[in-house]
Structure 1
Amino acid sequence: MIIALEIGLLYAIMALGVYLTYRVLDFPDLTVDGSFTTGAATCAILLVNGVPIWAAMIAGAVSGMLAGAVTGLLHVWGNINPLLAGILTQIALYSINLRIMGNKANVPLLRTDTLFSWFRGERLLGTWMSVLAFAVVVLVVGLVVYWFLGTSFGVSLRATGDNEMMARSQGINTGVTKVVGLMISNGMVALCGALVAQYQGFSDISMGIGLIVAGLASVIVGQAIFGMTAVWQAVLAAALGSVIYRGVIQIALNNGFNPNDMKLISAVLVVLALVLPQWGPLKNLRRTRRRRQAAEAGVA
């Protein structure tokens, strides 16, 4: 379960990126499956060629931001449906990722210094020390996201997702907010890919397949359990949702499920997270909790 916690915390950065597009910007972005691998491939190939770790990770994040910019421009300038724009970029990224990795499907990092080399050398991976270190990183990223959403541009981003026509009437350039929002989101996803590639010791062309389901599962599960009535609560829910999602996957594996069924389990988990909140008793419970919170706010 410690390994599941480590992986869940690593993927929490991806979940926060998905949260920005799926919940804040209200943009169903399927670029994620490709930009995750792009970040991993860019970081891996640079590390193999001797580039410093920090520079390789920045390059990986920037590559994801460029992918997000392409999707945004296809939608804003090309007037292409958001889903189709993401799919087109995702398909193109498959070939681009192969080119980045030198037309190889896999780039090993086992003999290359990575961000986790010290942890492995000290035998700290798979211990509570590494979980604590990962949690601190996720906390910092979550605080940055929370701060960003409170800035003037972050408010513009939220306004665009809530009501695009109203945002335009207030003088907000919704095209810019969409493109920049997609760039930030996919930059975070690509950064997560760079971290995961270093953690597992290789970059693979298929490592991003179906990742959008994992991201949505993390956000939706977190929302169903923790709620999203405030920005800080939504950010926390997305991060913790990733940990819970990975924990459920690990429990399924430990109980004899076939690893080939993980995508099916992910889909079922998303369906349950979407359907269960609409169940009568749960709806009443959430309604009562909201009334209690409103009453407490009124007293305060």
Structure 2
Amino acid sequence: MIGAIEVGLLYGIFALGVYLTFRVLNFPDLTVDGSLTTGAATAAALIHAGQSPLLATLAGGVTGMIAGAVTGILHTKGKIDGLLAGILTMIALWSINLRIMGKSNLPFLREETLISPLREAGWMGKTWYVVLIFLVVVFAIKLLVDWFLSTDLGLAIQATGNNEQMIRSFGVNTDGMKILTLSISNGLVGLAGALIAQYNGVADISMGIGVILVGLASVILGQALLGQRWIWLATLAVVVGAVLYRIIIFGALRIGFNQDDMKLMTALLVIAALLLPRWGFLKRIPSFKNRGNRRPEPTPQPAAATTTGA
């Protein structure tokens, strides 16, 4: 269970990136299937070259940003459909990732990583110390995302996702907003990929296949439970959803499911998270009743003064 929470927190960073495009920008970005591996491949290649693990991890985030920018440019400047632009970038990244690693997988054997001290201390999956460390890192990134979305630039990005024509009429460069958001989103995804590879002890070319579904499951599952009325609550829900997803997968494996069933389990989780609120299932639970639909109580009106005749 502790190991599932650790992995869930790392995927919480990935889910925050998916949230920026899927919810904030309203953009179906499939680049993440490739940029997650790009971040992992970049970090692995640099660590094997003797670079600092921290520098290698940050470089993984930078290469993810470049991948996101490519998708944004293809969509905005090349006028390619957003979904197709993401697919094209994702396909191209497969070959690029192989070039970066030089082979299909790059394990961390004796190399020093950011996770090595935790592993050498015997804390991985056994104590809550690692969970606490990961929690601090993830919440620092979450707070940074909250702050960014509350700035003028972040508000312009939100407006671009809500009503592109309206915000363009105010002189906002919506193409620039899309490119920037896709860059930041995939930067978070690349950063998550670098950390996940170091946690797993290997960067593998196939680690990003179908991972968009994991991100969507985290976003939809978390926000189905906590809602998304405020930005801070929406980002918190994303992180909670990522952890909850990993716990559900852990429980499924314990009761007899195998790894081959995980894609099916993920699809079913997303379907359930989408359909249950629409069917009113969650509203039957007292804590979910009328969530987000509460109306203010009517203000009592003063009694009219009475007049008496002579």
Shorter-chain TM range is: over 0.9
In the alignment, the residues of structure 2 paired with residue 288 and residue 125 of structure 1 have an alpha-carbon distance, to the nearest angstrom, of: 41
Which residue pairs with 1:121 in the alignment?
120
In the alignment, the residues of structure 1 paired with residue 213 and residue 282 of structure 2 have an alpha-carbon distance, to the nearest angstrom, of: 24
Q: Which amino acid aligns with 1:108?
A: P
* 3-state SS of paired residue (2:203): strand
CA shift at 1:283, angstroms? 5.1
Q: How does 1:174-185 map to 2 (within 5 A)?
A: 174-185=174-185
Percent identity reads 58
Q: Of the two, which has the highest radius of gyration?
A: 2
* 3-state SS of paired residue (1:107): strand
Which residue pairs with 1:271 in the alignment?
271
Q: Which amino acid aligns with 2:189?
A: V
Which residue pairs with 2:243 in the alignment?
243
The structure with the greater share of residues assigned to helix is 1
CA shift at 1:42, angstroms? 0.4
Which residue pairs with 1:201 in the alignment?
201
In the alignment, the residues of structure 1 paired with residue 109 and residue 198 of structure 2 have an alpha-carbon distance, to the nearest angstrom, of: 9
Which residue pairs with 2:132 in the alignment?
132
In the alignment, the residues of structure 2 paired with residue 280 and residue 139 of structure 1 have an alpha-carbon distance, to the nearest angstrom, of: 31
Q: Which amino acid aligns with 1:51?
A: Q
In the alignment, the residues of structure 2 paired with residue 204 and residue 48 of structure 1 have an alpha-carbon distance, to the nearest angstrom, of: 14
Which of structure 1's runs of 4+ aligned residues deviate more than 4 A?
283-287
In the alignment, the residues of structure 2 paired with residue 288 and residue 16 of structure 1 have an alpha-carbon distance, to the nearest angstrom, of: 27
Q: How does 1:155-194 map to 2 (within 5 A)?
A: 155-194=155-194
In the alignment, the residues of structure 1 paired with residue 20 and residue 101 of structure 2 have an alpha-carbon distance, to the nearest angstrom, of: 28
In the alignment, the residues of structure 2 paired with residue 106 and residue 289 of structure 1 have an alpha-carbon distance, to the nearest angstrom, of: 47
In the alignment, the residues of structure 2 paired with residue 118 and residue 275 of structure 1 have an alpha-carbon distance, to the nearest angstrom, of: 43
Residues 187-224 of structure 1 show CA distances to partners (whole Å, capped at 9, x for unaligned) of 00000000001111110000000100000000000010
Residues 141-191 of structure 1 show CA distances to partners (whole Å, capped at 9, x for unaligned) of 100000000011100000000000011011110000000000000000000
Q: Which amino acid aligns with 2:13?
A: I
Which residue pairs with 2:63 in the alignment?
63
Which residue pairs with 1:50 in the alignment?
50
Q: Which amino acid aligns with 2:271?
A: V
* 3-state SS of paired residue (1:203): strand
Which residue pairs with 1:143 in the alignment?
143
Which residue pairs with 2:9 in the alignment?
9
Unmatched tracts of structure 2, length 5 or more: 300-310
In the alignment, the residues of structure 2 paired with residue 291 and residue 27 of structure 1 have an alpha-carbon distance, to the nearest angstrom, of: 27
CA shift at 1:110, angstroms? 2.1
Q: Which amino acid aligns with 1:191?
A: L
CA shift at 1:280, angstroms? 3.1
CA shift at 1:114, angstroms? 0.1
Q: Which amino acid aligns with 2:83?
A: L
Which residue pairs with 1:34 in the alignment?
34
Residues 38-95 of structure 1 show CA distances to partners (whole Å, capped at 9, x for unaligned) of 0000000100110111211121111000000000000000111110000000000000
Q: How many residues align?
A: 296
Unmatched tracts of structure 1, length 5 or more: none
The normalised TM-score by structure 2 is 0.93
In the alignment, the residues of structure 2 paired with residue 83 and residue 55 of structure 1 have an alpha-carbon distance, to the nearest angstrom, of: 32
Which residue pairs with 1:96 in the alignment?
96
The normalised TM-score by structure 1 is 0.96
In the alignment, the residues of structure 1 paired with residue 59 and residue 192 of structure 2 have an alpha-carbon distance, to the nearest angstrom, of: 12
In the alignment, the residues of structure 2 paired with residue 100 and residue 52 of structure 1 have an alpha-carbon distance, to the nearest angstrom, of: 17
* 3-state SS of paired residue (1:295): coil
In the alignment, the residues of structure 1 paired with residue 204 and residue 61 of structure 2 have an alpha-carbon distance, to the nearest angstrom, of: 17
Give the alignment's Cα RMSD to 1 decimal: 1.5
Which residue pairs with 1:260 in the alignment?
260
